[in-house]
Amino acid sequence: MTADPIVQFYRLIEATRPAKRADRGAAGYLPSRGLRYCDALTTATAYGYWVFPPMDFRLLWDGERVFWSYGEDEAWLPLSETGSRAVQFPNYSAKFDRIAPPELQGCSPPFLTAFLEPGTIQMWTGLLVRTQPGWSLSVRTPVNIPATPGIVTWDGIIETDLWFGPLFTNFRLTRTDIPVYIRSQIPIIQVQPVPQLAYREEVLGKFACSDAADLSGDDWDRLAQVLLPNPHATIRQGEYAVAVRKRRSCPYDVTALNRTVTPEEEA
């Protein structure tokens, strides 16, 4: 276990695969040229951690109601009937009660919940998660991995240094009367640590849009390095990756991000 982790996962459902560091090759989905030459592509792909469903299961939406099934039994169980919009992970409630303190008996997080919005589902991954102060988690579809057919994942940013709880994902079913298969060996979301400073208004508000007339001589010189013909195209393709990797080789201190901003500093 990493000492003093930025992101800490806790696995409550034993069947869930542990969260896994995303790899630069997107589990083999990236083309070899992209993997070799496009550092921007591989960096985005490897940013964060893959999180997996705790089991194989199927969903079916008839346009109004949602049903689910799992295992070898093809029987479809109602998920969105009136008065029953959530189900527990199979045989898990009693296990949760055995490990939880007395005041949390009977409070096992639901595995699947049907929202009021048509075809929208919340799924618990079986994990809890928290981050160090100043860090949030971006929850999104896995980067550069083909999406699960029939669902669209909602993206979100959770301030997990403040909110400690079950790691859920929300998604929308996009087809009716055809089963959607969720596989436990395929990541369903990618979670990415984000410093909260990155999306604060005082940062996002600092942007500008300019015209070509505003380019400086130095700007044109830098642009020329990209646009001028180069007889060694493969060398040109690798120059950016080399420069980025040299920058990454320098130690980076994250301690400045792992602290809470004081009221005086916010003022």
pLDDT, position 4: 87
pLDDT, position 37: 81
pLDDT for residue 107 is more than 70: yes
Report yes or no on 63 lying in a domain. Answer: yes
pLDDT for residue 69 is more than 60: yes
| Per-residue pLDDT tens digits for 1-15 | 677 899 999 999 999
Residue whose token pair is 């109004």:
64
Helix axes 233-248, 39-46, angle to 10 degrees: 40
CA 227 to chain CA mean position, Å: 35
Q: Which domain holds residue 212?
A: 202-255
pLDDT, position 249: 72
Q: How many domains are there within the chain? A: 2
- Which two structure tokens, joined as six digits, stand for 242? 């080399």
Domain stops at, among 165, 184, 200: 200
| Per-residue pLDDT tens digits for 32-68 | 888 888 888 999 999 999 999 999 999 999 999 999 9
Residue whose token pair is 């093809």:
74
Do 186 and 240 fall into the same domain? no
Q: How far apart are the first and last CA of the chain?
A: 38
Do 150 and 249 fall into the same domain? no
pLDDT band at 257 (very low <50, low <70, confident <90, very high): low
Do 114 and 173 fall into the same domain? yes
| Per-residue pLDDT tens digits for 137-150 | 999 999 999 999 99
pTM: 0.85
* Residues constituting the chain: 267
Report yes or no on 102 lying in a domain. Answer: yes
Lowest average pLDDT, out of 129-133, 217-221, 255-259, goes to 255-259
pLDDT for residue 267 is more than 50: no
- Which two structure tokens, joined as six digits, stand for 15? 């069947």
